[in-house]
Structure 1
């Protein structure tokens, strides 16, 4: 029996097995395993490469098994380079390579790294047909594998886990989960026709896209409090900003284009975090001190965020601006009483202000009570724009 379906000889066999190496999906696990090692500080490159190789074999197993199931068992794919026997041999060789890496980790590293590596292969092997029909496992399989790559890469160097790798692993799982939801939506029609329960099929295209955007937003923002609490180095949010720009462009595109952009944005995110962790470019540099503005400090921040609120509302349209103005006018009396009372009883104080008071509270607080709801409404109107017809109906009422 032959190993390949097209051609013959060693070159055809080599090409068939090489076709199962997909750089787009192979590079992130390998790079993340090395990133986990870098996160540990000074690391043993041999141990790092062994764990990265284990990640490679786990993902290779997933690709071969997925192709075997989709073509030979489900008849979903139009073609596949390997026969059933070739697929089984590929699975055997990949598994043997993975087990060799486990043995090497047991000798060179720690039992914890072995325990974290083993689930990577299980996720890859069980991806099809066990995991890829359930909305949760089909979405989180690859992201969880990436998280294990990071944790195992770190544990292989240190023998323990810490807040930084655990936090970053969680960030990667959430962010890549959002990317995976959008990626699966590419095959919405086909998956629905065969009752394959991806998130897009289970929730529908619109709600699944909203869930994906929420996951991306939560994951990227999580880097900020992790940096504030000094779990991550100071430059880490720069990686979130870079990926955030790509994500902002991607979410308005079709699923195929959005996935292409987000995958590349994920590379940028990982690279940014690697630079932040390994080189720590902003370490020791203090935050900008805007209190040099003296009594105008608070006012300056309100001008900044007020300008942002105004820009968003103008972008949303005249009707949106008027709706926001009416809402702010209704909210203002409630905010005024609340603000006056909290200041009167000493709940908080405002040292960096002009000292000008109006109706019993600082001038800055009056502005604050306009700027904050206006900014919230500006963001809301931008995220949920109304159609022209809805605008006309709203004006008519």
Structure 2
């Protein structure tokens, strides 16, 4: 009887262990690069040699496993945890400037907590396809198999190959698959995502016009294309997105994807067009101001500010809130171009009286000698 109880308890404990740790990250070879290296380089294939070498590779394997578990794999997962935290706490949801600013202290407090818990979960469990793609890609699907399936129109094989997480198909192959199965939405979707993720910046202009034709059809494709347009800094892609936004035929979620794409693609003209578009729509004005201000702060922090210096001149004197963002931006980068543009507006008499003080202050802070002299001549009281 006691033996039966013991066996029952043992089974329960084993079941709990199995359920609790069957998805443990350590059971996925892709999460343990050091163990894999030990196995590849120190463990002989021959059984006899393996027994002889055991005193060497077993201790090294244990050390490698501990390092993988406690150091290597958590480090690999830091970018994932960071992206999750940014997405959850720092990605604007379009709830308005006041609401977003009110949530700011909560985001600040929760950031280390969310990041730590996310990193712990990702380091401990093999979740969300938690794999190291660089090692998967070292064993790509043979291209011959893909081409054979493409030639014969084998949908099942193409679909199976597309679902394997390998991202080193050449873009022209993905394009051929799309054209061969143009009426198959699932294959087109997967091929477009694969194509967008495999394109390099050197291919930027070659495929832009082709990819643009697939915008605003599928949100996941839009996300993938958005990432590609940002990576490549595509003027054609971001301009096309602004045109689609102008049509007002997009969902709210797609609109958010498009706005972030345009603002992050490092092309000033589409950004200006986007702001001009949204400033015509009262309920969307605050949203774009909030997004634009965040982007300005980001590009300044990453030393990209000079790229927009002349591009944003046309946005001056359009709106007091926008002016506040731009004047602060030009002051921070000590922009001679910005100072000159502000002087022209001031001298022309186009500035409203309420803006004069802010413009004069910005020009003086930038400190361009010629422009400062003009200010002192036109407003002598300032120099006294």
TM-score by length of 2: 0.31
TM-score (norm 1): 0.30
Per chain length, whose mean CA-contact separation is higher, i.e. which structure has more relative contact order (CA < 8 Å, sep 6+)?
Answer: 1
